Amino acid sequence: MIDNVPQDANEQVVCSKRKHWVVFPRHISLPIVLFLAGITQNVWLLSPLLIALLFVFSLIVATTDFKVSKCVLTGEKFVGIGLLEWVKMKKDAHYNGQEIMRDDIEEISLKQDIFQRIFGGATVVVFRKQGSQVKFKDIGDAAALTHQLQSG
């Protein structure tokens, strides 16, 4: 197991990417907008204390998401571990996250929303041969990960 990502003994990690720091502005934007609206318009939709608590909670979620989420590409499979997968792995030792065998990958694409364009992250979308798709959001240096997936 490398970086909490299960793997077989004979597998080597080809590429490993963490989440981009763009998760922070995405998570904390709502409390900031509510606070700024309260100051500038003197219209408090929520109390300042509640906004502060929402900000702290959002910051904790963003930090946890940033620390535990990752995408790992081995010679045989692509594994994505997000915040929810990490929680499931803590509860069930046999759960391996979102695993996609490299043979099952039909196409890979990159998508960027406004936050990702401004700050440099991207969403990696993996299309499987069976027709389903799996999205890995806010990946740092997603272009290198996509290149490794397509070349392998």
| Per-residue pLDDT tens over the stretch 42-88 | 766 667 788 888 889 999 988 988 888 888 888 888 888 877 776 66
- Per the CB < 8 A criterion, the answer to whether 13 and 73 are in contact is yes
Tens digits of per-residue pLDDT, 84-112?
776 666 666 555 667 888 888 888 889 99
Q: CA 55 to CA 145: how far, in whole Å?
A: 32
- How high is the mean pLDDT of the chain? 80
Residue 120: phi and psi, rounded to 5, are: 105, 5
Cβ atoms 25, 121 nearer than 8 A: no
Per-residue burial over 32-43, b = 16 or more CB atoms within 10 Å of its CB, e = otherwise: eebbeebeeeee
Q: First and final CA of the chain: distance in angstroms?
A: 21
